[in-house]
Structure 1
């Protein structure tokens, strides 16, 4: 029985730590976008205005008609992204702290649910926002400023962590699975 409690504690600690890492990542990305505002603003500006398309893509009036060249809209979109990153980071970090405070307690699952909400916002931001809207609608894949692979990497990693954090704990160990000694 004591070993089973230890196993659950390690799993809870691991899940809370992973949630902390993801929350920290999201907060750090948002923070970096504020302190180095212009670098990533230029990226958003280029993707939305579709002004740095690869030569093989030039003169495609059907897709280029999607371009948004209004700098005010670019600024608004960039702030929505930054606020989304910070909001997502705060939710994931809150979930992590709640899980740390609830290790081996039934309310640990509440922290898991909170993390699931934060991870969903992260997937919404990086997968839907960058990969779907930026990548497909604004054809970021044909833009010299292509962040699609990073968007897929971030969203897939966070989705995997959501699955891990929310999966049920192993609670029982058969006696023959215990190490000798």
Structure 2
């Protein structure tokens, strides 16, 4: 508490100033950074690499991800999900390849990724996503939820049925 009192006495005196406008504008420009958000340079590089994937990740990338501390891998998953919220068409966006890579590297995050994918609106789902998820055991619940969704487009439902037959036989 003494630190706060001393800090408040520093010049310039702002007690008589209305700073609401400054705070409102700055909140849009300055990200709120918490201790949990801090990533090592290695983790930042991996996050950027994951964000640009267009195919399955290499074994080297997977090993580098496995070497990260669990809190950094969790932070990467959170940031990927935040970026994925802006995707409007779920065919085979780069972020999907990032999710598939994370799911292979760390099973603890599979449920988080599956929950996110289940909530992708039916209008945004397209058939190319189905074969990519069809080979993943953790994604079976996602595909069955989509198949049961009355709003899922018919081509997507057919692709899910085909993927289910291939997985079963």
Question: Which TM-score bucket, shorter chain as reference?
Answer: under 0.3
Instruction: Give TM-score, length-normalised by structure 2.
Output: 0.23
Greater helix share, 1 or 2? 1
Give the structure, 1 or 2, with the largest relative contact order (CA under 8 Å, sep 6 or more): 1
